């Protein structure tokens, strides 16, 4: 999320999904909130019947005064789903990382703030490595990309090390072909450059790819919009379309070749994969998606949007 604050799942059974009572306080005009989408393809997602979006809003946050919630990342561990996301603390005017939990991946309960710093935090890219959980949140105000490890998952997080110096937004870390990779936007005010790094391990030495920056001078396709995911023998990179306004929609690119010396990608036919609806909780924009395969040809995603 931009620091300037732009205006056991198994089968998913809609018939068993509980509804909840909507409140006029749930979504304020101009506020970001979080919803759940699903589909038979990660490139063709839609709201689920009888699930009322958004499932998480600033109104659900109970331990700090919240302005909005955004940038959701989720993972499953044991019988529980865990979602980490930015909570904009309206008292400090800084982003903090919040947690919500779910037993079915569909309905969510807010838990608490699990990470806060003296600087702004957002975009909590969370992942497993060996037997531990790690997080690379956006820490552009700290002047580096920072790695955190769960000392006690999911509530206790400790700083491990700086990965890459400089001001970067929305770093997205992923594993592919025996290496770790990371996209990041080094122009968080303009959203128009995409850099690429790789390493042998998340806590190792990160090297800039020789073809980096992958994108320059194009705010439609540069800024990361969520976790990079494997698809059809390659990868899918999701990107924020920030033209003509920040966080307008989410586009998708198929990465067909990625090595320490080469890179090839092409926009998929289904792109954009998320767009503003013109009304309701996602009236004006959508700019983030995190997608997980749940079996039986079904995909589940957490998304965000602005009313």
Residues 110-120 have pLDDT tens digits of 999 999 999 99
Strand order in the sheet with 298-306: 44-47, 32-41, 298-306, 285-295
The answer as to whether 213 is a domain residue is no
What is the rounded average pLDDT of the residues 76-103? 98
Q: What is the CATH number of the domain that holds 91?
A: 2.115.10.20
Instruction: Tell me, yes or no, whether 130 lies in a domain.
Output: yes
Residue 10 has pLDDT above 90, yes or no: no
Q: 174 Cβ partners below 8 Å, 6+ apart?
A: 127, 180, 181, 182, 227, 228, 229, 235
Domain-embedded: residue 283: no
Q: Does 53 reside within a domain?
A: yes
261 part of a folded domain? no
d(CA 232, CA 34): 28
Domain assignment present for residue 191? The answer is yes
Domain assignment of residue 217, yes or no: no
CA torsion sign for 303, 274, 88, 122 is positive
**Position 292 confidence tier, pLDDT thresholds 50, 70, 90:** very high
% of the chain at pLDDT higher than 70:
92
**Per-residue pLDDT for 121 more than 90?**
yes
pTM of the model: 0.92
Q: CB-side exposure of 232: number of CA atoms within 13 Å? A: 10
Read off the pLDDT band of 27 (50, 70, 90): confident
Please give the structure tokens belonging to residue 201: 């391990």
């Amino acid at each position: 999320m931009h620091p300037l604050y732009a205006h056991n799942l198994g089968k998913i059974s809609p018939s068993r999904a509980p509804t909840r009572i909507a409140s006029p306080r749930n979504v304020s005009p101009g506020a970001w909130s979080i919803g759940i989408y699903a589909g038979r393809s990660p490139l063709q997602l839609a709201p689920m019947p009888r699930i009322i979006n958004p499932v998480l809003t600033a109104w659900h946050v109970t331990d700090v005064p919240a302005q909005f919630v955004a940038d959701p990342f989720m993972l499953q561990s044991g019988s529980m789903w865990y979602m980490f996301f930015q909570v904009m603390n309206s008292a400090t005017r800084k982003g903090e990382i919040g947690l919500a939990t779910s037993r079915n991946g569909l309905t969510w309960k807010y838990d608490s703030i699990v990470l806060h710093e003296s600087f702004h935090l957002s975009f909590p890219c969370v992942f497993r490595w060996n037997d531990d959980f790690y997080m690379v949140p956006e820490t552009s105000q700290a002047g580096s990309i920072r790695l955190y490890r769960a000392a006690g998952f999911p509530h206790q997080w400790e700083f491990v090390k700086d990965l890459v110096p400089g001001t970067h937004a929305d770093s997205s870390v992923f594993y592919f072909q025996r290496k770790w990779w990371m996209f990041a936007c080094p122009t968080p005010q303009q959203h128009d450059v995409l850099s690429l790094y790789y390493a042998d391990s998340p806590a190792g030495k990160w090297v800039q790819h020789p073809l980096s920056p992958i994108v320059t001078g194009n705010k439609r396709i540069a800024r990361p919009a969520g976790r990079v995911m494997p698809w059809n023998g390659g990868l899918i990179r999701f990107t924020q379309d920030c033209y003509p306004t920040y966080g307008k929609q989410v586009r998708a690119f198929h990465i067909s070749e990625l090595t320490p010396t080469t890179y090839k990608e092409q926009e998929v036919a289904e792109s954009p994969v998320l767009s503003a609806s013109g009304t309701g909780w996602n009236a004006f924009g959508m700019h983030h998606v995190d997608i997980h395969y749940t079996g039986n040809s079904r995909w589940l995603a957490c998304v965000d949007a602005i009313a």
